[in-house]
Chains A and B, each alone.
Chain A
């Protein structure tokens, strides 16, 4: 397949060096049902200090994309194509030793489930110190002080005493804070947060997101926030990439995505958010149908079978490109004209143009 992103990418302002530049990333896994492509040509750039939210439902390839940047999807069964440049280092083909120097030190990751992501048999202090000493030649005492400082920074009370506690002695929210402290321990330039609040209850979610935002402001680290929850994104993201079935279908600033969404899938996502400022609907709006299975994707636009606005052109893969003259950085993958999009998305208030479509389930 051609890579139209490269040709149509908007010119960047001078001096805007990207911290991370992912180009046409493809990740496939060999399974019993043959080769399955989880990530199918993903490209995006990340500037220093920016918060990029990658939004999509389960199986859209968002977590695989994030983990691939860290080399965590490497296995005898996986195959990679494309590039991911980080400060002049190519991450995708990097050998394990080079990648190890990046992991944890330059790019750090917070995982979804804090209950299982910390080693249950080691003290949390040890788990933080271990990472610090892996990347910096610090004596034990200094590493220990740094760990205390980090725990303090993420808002763990009595950090000095809690250093010798085991993970099971913390609540879920506190454990996620420990994970954040762990991720921040070597002052990374990029923090990848893979659904950091999904396993937590709502009040804790807000606190954790607030922390991530504050830490971004303090440390200047760029954040890639992977989530299925657009509500989470609204508070914190600068830019949003919406993923569907292995591809980015729309990408733009927070305002562009929320107030001028171009792709019908984005309309559906926005329409599915429950809102307290609108009359309560009889049923929660949902996008009809199911996402295609990885091994059995439709030709052309992957969203086609679920899209009420499908037409003949959709059999071709729409490139991810800017389709409005005034907005060169607002990219999407939909063949509808800007005019059509404006009209169609207003069809039903609360459902943003996504009517139920009979027989949409593939």
Chain B
């Protein structure tokens, strides 16, 4: 176990280093991304730009700029080029919002997808299965910004059943927190439910034909026990992989569209705004933040594997 954790930490450092270099390089080759020009504003004089270059160190060599920026990441001194606000404060402000969205939606989509997928597999070929298949395909096909906007417009604005976006701190009012998050959770979960339930359905159908399921039936177990004890557990592994990756991405601010449509002002929305302004420091920081969660959740997935299937050992 200790070796496993050390290896994963090493992996994490490597991934974050690679990601940071890539982000840094990409923003240096994007046309029209010279930060000094953007900071100086319209019709700035050449001398103003020069002064900014000097002050922010944009005249240094690229590796030197990278090192300075990364130093600031670790000391927490990173500043946005555009708003000049400290990046770490902005991210910390966004974390509870992003986490509220991510955790709630991830639980919701996993639970519903398992129910749908299992039911669909049990009823394979029958009406219920076909119906759920169509629902799943609709869910997969609807972009989240569109379904989110529809929900906001009809359920929020027209009918007034739900608030029109925004976020309330959990510590302030838990009920209102929940109320504000129902639509974002649903909108984000719909895509994943469609996708996961399809994957689970096909896994269950594969597992049902395994010899040990026949053994379970020959023991006289009920169909319910066979499904829950013998089939589901063996069918969960691919779903757990997907879940780890997707949950990690959403925790790391990957639900950019959902956060923006519902104006949650989480980490994802911060990233989206910063990308729009070609503002390198926040983008770099959010990317590192996301990479951390993706790698960490991957480790959690591997541990879950070992629990689900004793043949897999961590090393």
- B213-229 Cβ-contact flags toward A at 8 Å (1 or 0): 01111111111010001
Indicate if A58 sits at the interface (CB-CB under 8 A). Answer: no
Say which residue of A70, A121, A130 sits within 8 Å of B309 (CB atoms).
Answer: A121
Interchain nearest-CB distance for B211 vs A (Å):
4
Q: Does A274 contact B (CB under 8 A)?
A: no
Contact A100 B214 (CB under 8 A): no
A81 interface residue per 8 A CB criterion? no
Q: Name A86-142 residues within 8 Å CB distance of B.
A: 96, 100-105, 108-109, 111, 113, 116-122, 130-131, 134-135
* Interface pair A111/B220, CB less than 8 Å apart: no
Question: Does B241 belong to the interface (CB within 8 Å)?
Answer: no
Interface of B is mostly: helix
- Per-position 1/0 for A248-286, Cβ under 8 A of B: 000000000000000000000000000000000000000
User: Is A168's beta carbon under 8 Å from chain B?
Assistant: yes
Q: Say whether B308 contacts A103, CB under 8 Å.
A: no
List the count of A-B residue pairs having beta carbons below 8 Å apart. 72
| Structural contact, B215 and A121, CB atoms closer than 8 A | no
**B: interface residue count bin:** 20 to 34
Judging by beta carbons under 8 Å apart, are B217 and A134 in contact? no
Q: Is the CB of B217 within 8 A of A121?
A: no
The CA-CA distance from A296 to B215 in the complex, in Å, is 32
In the complex, A179 Cα to B211 Cα: how many Å? Answer: 12
CA A289 to CA B215, docked complex, whole Å = 35
**Nearest Cβ distance between residue B238 and chain A, in whole angstroms?**
14
Query: Complex Cα distance A306/B220, Å?
Result: 41
- B161 in the interface (beta carbon within 8 A): no
Whether A105 and B220, one on each chain, are in contact in the complex, defined by CB atoms closer than 8 angstroms, is: yes
Can you report 14 A-B residue pairs in the complex whose CB atoms are below 8 A from each other? A72-B214, A72-B218, A96-B223, A102-B220, A103-B218, A103-B219, A104-B220, A117-B215, A120-B309, A121-B234, A130-B221, A130-B225, A130-B229, A134-B220
Given contacts A111-B211, A134-B220, A179-B215, 7 further A-B contacts (CB under 8 A): A72-B217, A104-B219, A109-B218, A111-B215, A111-B218, A120-B234, A131-B219
- In the A-B complex, the 10 residue pairs with the smallest Cβ-Cβ separation, listed nearest first, are A104-B220, A103-B220, A116-B211, A104-B219, A131-B219, A119-B212, A117-B211, A166-B310, A109-B218, A100-B220
Binding site for B on A (CB under 8 A): 70, 72, 96, 100-105, 108-109, 111, 113, 116-122, 130-131, 134-135, 166, 168, 179, 182
